[in-house]
Amino acid sequence: MRVLMVEDDAVLASSIARALRAESFAVDIADNGEDGGHLGETEAYDVAILDLGLPRGDGLSVLAQWRAAGRTLPVLILTARDAWSDKVQGFKAGADDYMVKPFRVEELVMRLRALVRRAAGHAASVLHCGPLSFEAQTGQFQLDGLPLRLTAFEWRVLSCLMLRKEAVVERLDLLERVYEGDADVDSNSLEVIIGRLRRKIGTSLIETVRGLGYRLTGG
């Protein structure tokens, strides 16, 4: 899963990014409205955290820009503006959630996970696929009821496949959700990660769909 954070407070941005990366999320940070607007419009993200007071374009305009461009990614506004009228403005501009600073990062992570889960069309917080289960609010995977230990890259791939289980996830789409924007990506790195996952969860769960991508299937 890959998160876009548009936040001009560098200290806050790096502390949120650290917390999200510790939960295995890939995180891209934009410190102004112009760059954030461009990234959200052109790159694939599972969710965005958007500040309102930003240099070079405020958050509401950035959000309006994304929605006008047809971008459907869930957006959580994170701001010091706590008036109800600000919240109304945010939701009217197309926000999916709104959090006021100061906040607990644990709550932010929970809200982001819920937004990603709902955007993928899942109401229940636990997803199942064959012997595999995924607790979407904690990010924990289990195989045959036992905790599954995954690296951050493995987790990003498997959670993306799990949220879209039984559907083909295109290779490029998967790659975009695994690597941060400035990462140096090797052309066969996704295949390496898939190979490692198959060794951990068995070869039958992740199906290769030639010329397209991968599909997680419970059989």
What residue type is 201 in one-letter code? I
Q: How far is the CB of 80 from Ca ion (least distance, A)?
A: 8
For residues 52-71, which are near Ca ion according to CB under 5 A?
Answer: 53
**Of 46-54, 129-137, 145-153, 206-214: span binding Ca ion (CB under 5 A):** 46-54
State how far the alpha carbon of 138 is from the alpha carbons of 113, 114, 158, in Å: 8, 10, 14
Judged by CB under 5 A, the number of residues near Ca ion is 3
Residues 6+ apart with CB under 8 A from 53: 8, 59, 79, 80, 81
Q: Which of 8, 35, 154, 176 binds Ca ion (CB under 5 A)?
A: 8
Q: HSE of 184 in the Cβ direction (CA atoms, 13 Å)?
A: 0
Nearer to Ca ion, 53 or 218 (CB): 53
Q: How far is the CB of 51 from Ca ion (least distance, A)?
A: 4
**Of 19-27, 47-55, 68-76, 172-180: span binding Ca ion (CB under 5 A):** 47-55
Distance of alpha carbon 29 from alpha carbon 49, whole angstroms = 10
Which residues lie across from 16 on neighbouring strands? Answer: none
Nearer to Ca ion, 8 or 28 (CB): 8
Q: Does 176 bind Ca ion (CB under 5 A)?
A: no
Q: Are 26 and 2 in contact (CB under 8 A)?
A: yes
**Of 48-56, 90-98, 145-153, 200-208: span binding Ca ion (CB under 5 A):** 48-56
Q: Are 29 and 7 in contact (CB under 8 A)?
A: yes
Nearer to Ca ion, 6 or 193 (CB): 6
Nearer to Ca ion, 54 or 216 (CB): 54
Distance of alpha carbon 91 from alpha carbon 153, whole angstroms = 33
Q: How far is the CB of 117 from Ca ion (least distance, A)?
A: 28
Residues that bind Ca ion (CB under 5 A): 8, 51, 53
